[in-house]
Amino acid sequence: MSGERIVVDTSALVDYAKGVPEVRSSIEGSEVHISIITEIEFLAWPGMNEARLADARSFLREYGSNDTLNLIRLNTDGSLDYSFNNFNHVRTGNVPPYSAMVAGINVVTALDAGRLLIGGAFTRVANEQRGCLACVDTAGNLLDCWANGGLHPISYTNSGYPNFGLAGIRTLANGETYVYGMYKGITDANGYHPDQVCVSRFYMPDVGVAEKPMPVQALAVWPNPGGEMLHVTWNGKGIQTLELRDALGRVALQEVNYHNNPTLDASRLSPGTYTVLARSAQGERAVSKWVKP
């Protein structure tokens, strides 16, 4: 490969499917990025026959859905600034390509000299869980703030997609910062705040509702991957609440008033990757990942 990065439109993909040598050599020798809309238009092209469709699907499996161009940076002449990671994508859910069609960024604001806060309607950024809030550096790379946290949906559609989104962020002259949108509950650096609905005051840049963050501790879960029963240990601490959240951030299982070394019945959970979140009565948090095959 030449190492060149190019954004391919529908007409170029059609020429690729037709076998135009110049287009094929250019695409196959570069790092290609294709938008979701281009994928859909390409697959709906009237000249698509069975052989071309098989070729197209093979091509899209290799190159497709790795770019939705949700956040880009332009040079002063309007061209794409390739020093910025223009290819970080946001999704609602993790089923490409359609999960990207119901996701988007509404807000971009500077946190400080080195970080940007992005907000909108999404559950994942660069395949990591974020609930409508995320931080990126000035090169466009995803940062850890708001990891596994953010806004919580007010409801879900029949197909399982969350109804929520960040509409805006306002910083007043006195320095207070407010976020507003469609949500019911926020998980920040200090845990879950179910009383936060539609508008909240934040302590910036990344703490959230509470003023001072508490460190996130390690949580032991086994067997991992597991089966019908899940055992949890938190370094001898008592657990007040214990949650399992799925890839969309939904609470799949919740228990309260546990003490030490709880065991959960996970037999009714669907296969997938879950975030296990424990909280103590003092507000401490511990997090781990658990996989059910």
Give, in order, the Cα–Cα distances in Å from 59 to each of 3, 64, 81, 248, 287: 18, 7, 26, 28, 38
What is the percent of the chain with per-residue pLDDT over 70, rounded to a whole number? 74
> Rounded to the nearest 5°, which phi and psi values hold at 13?
-65, -35
Sign of torsion, CA 204 207 209 210?
negative
Sign of torsion, CA 37 38 44 50?
negative
Count CA atoms closer than 13 A to 123's CA, side-chain side: 22
State pTM to two decimals. Answer: 0.52
The per-residue pLDDT for range 207-231, each reduced to its tens digit, is 455 555 556 678 889 999 988 899 9
The per-residue pLDDT for range 151-201, each reduced to its tens digit, is 999 998 887 788 999 999 887 776 678 889 999 999 887 778 888 999 998
In this structure, of 72-86, 94-108, 233-247, the range with the lowest mean pLDDT score is: 94-108
In this structure, of 68-72, 150-154, 260-264, the range with the lowest mean pLDDT score is: 68-72
Listed in sequence order, the residues at least 6 apart from 51 whose beta carbon sits closer than 8 Å to its beta carbon are none
Q: Pairing mode, if any, of strands 285-292 and 216-218?
A: parallel
For residues 115 and 97, which has the higher predicted lDDT (pLDDT)?
115
> Rounded to the nearest 5°, which phi and psi values hold at 181?
170, -155
